[in-house]
């Protein structure tokens, strides 16, 4: 077995077809933050343990705003994952990021409005660093894996997360481009924020499904076209996971993200709310226990 690695994958149900995951089993995992999107599926790809969670639930029943991101990260932490790979669809804000390609995201802008963004708060306050919201080590390995399966891969890109569920207006699309955003989506935040609080290195392999509406020529974003590209890319995404399992080093060396909560909790120990501490048993048990 590849020692130390346990990759949590957040994406669509098609990513863990029977021909990809060995010894697969589906289990229910309870979270102290409410209901996750659904059960998790765990198994092996080669010598590496992978645990999958469908972000939008079975049959894509949850909108981006309705996903319980805290519960999803919490259950993955409870399953013992060491790192998280998010696979999601995005729109392109750059001409050279064409539909059908992949982007290994390294920066993010948060334009979400109505989502729980932290595990911490009243009764226990913490501030983690999020200067670099993705893990460079895992991102590099994922980029290498995607390249080996023949997918066009852009290494690095700024993702702007919008609330949705509507796509952006033309004025918004132009504004995001002026800000320096390269791609646009609805789910990477607060997901990446929460992964950092859970001390889980996070990488985002984003599938370009369309050009956002900033282009003067061409069709506007169409859900049917987006789904067609997603179906075409699903096989490459699954193949990327198989290659990733082979590329992971035989030993997982410690990451600085593994200890992201060191020094982050500012509430003095005597003032910790016991109920909040109990709820954070998986997320912050290392520093609170």
Residues with a catalytic annotation lie at 210, 212
Residues 99 and 204: beta-carbon distance below 8 Å? no
Helices (H), 170-222: 170-179, 188-197
Q: Please, which residues have CB within 8 angstroms of residue 147's CB and are 6 or more apart in sequence?
A: 153
DSSP 220: P
Nearest to 52 by CA among 10, 5, 18, 6: 10
Residues 195 and 69: beta-carbon distance below 8 Å? no
Q: Which structure tokens are listed for 126?
A: 């913490």
DSSP 176: H
Residues 56 and 62: beta-carbon distance below 8 Å? yes
State how far the Cα of 182 lies from the Cα of 288, in Å rounded to an integer: 38
DSSP 87: E
Residues 64 and 164: beta-carbon distance below 8 Å? yes
Place of tokens 């990513």: 15
Q: Please, which residues have CB within 8 angstroms of residue 289's CB and are 6 or more apart in sequence?
A: 281
State how far the Cα of 240 lies from the Cα of 229, in Å rounded to an integer: 16
Q: Which structure tokens are listed for 72?
A: 């999803």
**What's the half-sphere exposure (Cβ side, CA atoms, 13 Å) at 172?**
14
């Amino acid at each position: 077995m590849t020692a130390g690695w346990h990759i949590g994958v957040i994406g669509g149900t098609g990513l863990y077809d029977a021909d990809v995951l060995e010894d697969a089993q589906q289990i229910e995992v309870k979270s102290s933050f409410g209901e996750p999107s659904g059960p998790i599926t765990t198994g092996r790809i080669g010598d590496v343990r992978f645990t999958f969670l469908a972000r939008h639930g079975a049959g894509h029943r949850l909108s981006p705003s309705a996903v319980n991101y805290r519960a999803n990260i919490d259950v993955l932490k409870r399953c013992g994952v060491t790192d998280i790979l998010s696979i999601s669809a995005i729109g392109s804000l750059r001409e050279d990021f064409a539909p059908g390609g992949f982007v290994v995201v390294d920066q993010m802008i948060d334009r979400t409005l109505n989502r729980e963004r932290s595990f911490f708060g009243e009764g226990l306050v913490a501030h983690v660093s999020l200067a670099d919201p993705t893990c460079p080590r895992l991102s590099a390995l994922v980029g290498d894996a995607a390249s080996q399966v023949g997918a066009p891969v852009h290494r690095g890109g700024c993702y702007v997360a919008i609330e949705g569920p509507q796509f952006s207006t033309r004025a918004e699309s132009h504004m995001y481009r002026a800000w320096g955003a390269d791609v646009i989506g609805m789910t990477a935040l607060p997901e990446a924020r929460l992964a950092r609080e859970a001390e889980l290195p996070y990488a985002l392999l984003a599938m370009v499904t369309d050009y956002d509406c900033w282009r003067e020529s061409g069709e506007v974003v169409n859900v049917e076209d987006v789904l067609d590209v997603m179906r075409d890319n699903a096989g490459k995404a699954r193949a990327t996971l198989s290659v990733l399992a082979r590329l992971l080093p035989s030993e997982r060396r410690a990451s600085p993200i593994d200890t992201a909560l060191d020094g982050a909790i500012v509430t003095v120990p005597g003032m910790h709310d016991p109920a909040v501490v109990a709820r954070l048993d998986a997320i912050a048990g290392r520093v609170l226990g």
